[in-house]
Amino acid sequence: MAGSPEGHIVTGMPRPVPPQVIPRPADWRIGEEAPWANTPPGDRCGITLARVLQALAAQGQRGPVPEGIGPEHVLGPSIFVNESTPLANRVVNAAVLAVLFEEEGEARLIFTRRSTTLRSHRGEVSFPGGRIDPGEDPPTAALREAYEEIALDPSRVTPEGWIHPVVTVVTGSLIMPIVATTASRPHVVASPAEVERVFDVALRDLADLENFHEEHWRIAGRTTPGTIDDSFTVWFFEVEGEMIWGATARMIHELLSLVLVTPR
């Protein structure tokens, strides 16, 4: 299966999504099925908050972020950026908040679509978050940014755990994801300067095999260690009329893998 050089999603997903530039190389190829493809369909729904927290705890990822976590903790088919600052020399410089709440027995994640007026990652779907200011730790930064971007009241948010840092495809930032919960659906309001839309998606919909696909890309200076063709893996989720890819998709991929694939 081949791609289009225009840089927009054109693969076999017919539903319209808002336009965003995706730097897909001309020689991209389709990847493998989701790691949870062999998980029984009944286990891919009814994903409660308790189930998510149990999965985090089983892997030692429930609780505070380990001190000193950095590039060596990047999980899975990571993207190595061989530019002026190699991955090994990078520090966690941003944090995001993966906020979960539960409705009708299904855990749901809150996402934002970034404004098209921003300097980087225009129009992309992400978790609320941003740069870590001097003196902040990742949870503090993620909570502050979530309040600034979507008016999420930090007093109603409980940090629960973490997933591994990820590297962004375009800018090479090293982002620390914080998993958090709220007792019920929170009141949120998008800040127009930064966010065009706030929406939420059930984990069962993210786990739907029809909403996921994997691609392999080759871009000079970026590779996944161990690959024979210098390619790296990029994941996509199409849900709620949105296309989620890049660093955010990598975070979702780990979270779903913890819940649906990793033995409990």
Burial label for 22, CB within 10 Å (0-12, 13-18, 19+), is buried
Determine the pLDDT at residue 7: 33
Please state the domain extents for the chain: 29-66+74-260
CA distance 36 to 256: 8
CATH topology assigned to domain 29-66+74-260 = Nucleoside Triphosphate Pyrophosphohydrolase (3.90.79)
Determine the pLDDT at residue 84: 45
> Strand 212-217 and strand 232-239: pairing?
antiparallel
pTM to 2 decimal places: 0.86
- CB burial readout 59-74, b (16+ within 10 A) else e: eebbeebeeeebbebb
Closest to 91 measured CA to CA, from 79, 64, 73: 73
Burial label for 205, CB within 10 Å (0-12, 13-18, 19+), is middle
Tokens of 151: 């008016």
Check if the beta carbon of residue 244 is closer than 8 Å to that of residue 234: no
**pLDDT (tens place) for every residue of the chain, 264 residues total:** 333 323 333 333 444 566 677 888 889 999 999 999 999 999 999 999 999 999 999 999 999 988 877 666 665 545 555 444 455 556 778 999 999 999 999 999 999 987 756 555 556 899 999 999 999 999 999 999 999 999 999 999 999 999 998 887 666 678 999 999 999 999 999 988 888 889 999 999 999 999 999 998 887 666 555 555 677 888 999 998 899 998 899 999 999 999 999 776
CA distance 172 to 78: 11
Determine the pLDDT at residue 90: 61
Residue with tokens 């019920």: 184
Which phi and psi angles does 66 have, rounded to 5°? -60, 140
Determine the pLDDT at residue 239: 93
